[in-house]
Amino acid sequence: MGGLGLFMLGSIFCAVAGNLPLLLFGRVVQGLGACAASVLSRAIARDLFEGEELARTLALTMIAMAAAPGFSPLIGSALDSLFGWRSTFFGVAAFSATLALHYWTSAGETHPLDCRTPIGPFAIASAYGRLAVDLRFLFPALSVSLVIGGLYALFATTPSILMDGLGFTALQLGIFFASTVFVVFSAGFLAPRLARRWGQRAIGLIGLIIALAGGYVLFACAAAPALTPFTTGVVLYLLGMGLINPLGTALALNPFGAHAGLASALLGFLQMGCAAVSVSFASILPLPSSASVAAVLTMASALALLAFLPVTIRGTKLHAA
């Protein structure tokens, strides 16, 4: 509730900001509030479910998270053209208030008192330290985080590739992003069903291989980007990401029911850290945007695959380092 309230206040501050520094400050406040909802959505899922049910729930959570960056450019463009840019911030403020009301009246507390940890800084640091060296968490969490990092690099560079390189308009770019969301939808619905038959680790591995294939396709067409091969590479990467994200997250969180919030928070930190590194590399590489994002996605997928191999080979034998 605190995170949603902070996000709403940050959104309203952005909507009434009179200059760029104030707008950026409001965006920082928004981000601080959004972190709570992002982390706790996974923690709440772990509080309530485990095993295959946890994978299925996280798949639905992932679909919802994918819908936001997929549809938001299109919705934001429409609001901007109809009512001005400030309306987008008023819109998300109203949405956060509605979500907070629903959560307050329907969801309730899912984390029991006997599972809570002390709030002292030394206790929290110690718990994070133990979690960070537990291979049951570390390997699947790194795999998911590296792929998510590549996704953010893709979001950052695609406007340049499509608008500057292929002549897309802002509306066409929004439609492109919105259409790719359906790939993530499909993968999210498939992941738990495939995992039920062949296992989470096997399907997670296949997802990483598909993501790596998408990076190779983008790399192959980087010298002369065209819409069909670029879209093919993006679809493959998103399909692979859609498979590994819920399954890898479930594998990372499942052994830590008593510390679901800590595990989810550390996973979120790793994801945003990998995103920052991936976007930075995609920006600073002395290559065209199409080549830099292809290199980042290929490297991220390859590293994620290497990190996930011990999970596939050793399975539940992984333990604290």
pLDDT, tens digit (0-9, with 9 covering 90-100), for 21-61:
999 999 999 999 988 887 887 778 878 887 778 777 777 77
Average pLDDT, the chain: 86
pLDDT-based confidence at residue 321 (cuts at 50, 70, 90):
very low
Fold classification of 2-110+135-312 (topology level) = Growth Hormone; Chain: A; (1.20.1250)
Residue 223 CB neighbours (<10 A): 10
* Measured CA distances, 255 to 146, 158, 252 (Å): 21, 37, 7
Neighbour-count burial of 21, counting CB atoms closer than 10 A to its CB (0-12 exposed, 13-18 middle, 19+ buried): exposed
For 175, how many CA atoms within 13 A lie in the half-sphere containing its CB? 6
Q: Quick one: which H or E segment has residue 255?
A: none
Residues 309-318 pLDDT 10s? 998 886 545 5
Find out whether 40 and 261 touch, Cβ atoms under 8 Å.
yes
pLDDT at 71 over 80: no
pLDDT at 320 over 50: no
pLDDT of residue 148: 92
Residue 7 CB neighbours (<10 A): 26
* Token pair recorded at residue 221: 């067409």
Find out whether 88 and 79 touch, Cβ atoms under 8 Å.
yes
Most confident of 1-15, 45-59, 185-199, 244-258: 1-15
pLDDT-based confidence at residue 143 (cuts at 50, 70, 90):
very high
pLDDT of residue 118: 66
- For the ranges 70-74, 243-247, 283-287, the lowest mean pLDDT is seen at 70-74
Neighbour-count burial of 232, counting CB atoms closer than 10 A to its CB (0-12 exposed, 13-18 middle, 19+ buried): middle
pLDDT of residue 179: 84
- For the ranges 23-27, 46-50, 182-186, 281-285, the lowest mean pLDDT is seen at 46-50
Please report the DSSP string for 1-60 in residue order: -HHHHHHHHHHHHHHH--SHHHHHHHHHHHHHHHHHHHHHHHHHHHHH--HHHHHHHHHH
- For the ranges 115-124, 205-214, 233-242, 277-286, the lowest mean pLDDT is seen at 115-124
Listed in sequence order, the residues at least 6 apart from 188 whose beta carbon sits closer than 8 Å to its beta carbon are 59, 60, 62, 63, 66, 242, 246
Query: Using DSSP, how many helices (H) and how many strands (E) does the chain show?
Result: 11, 0
* Nearest alpha-carbon partner for 273 in 147, 138, 152, 149: 149
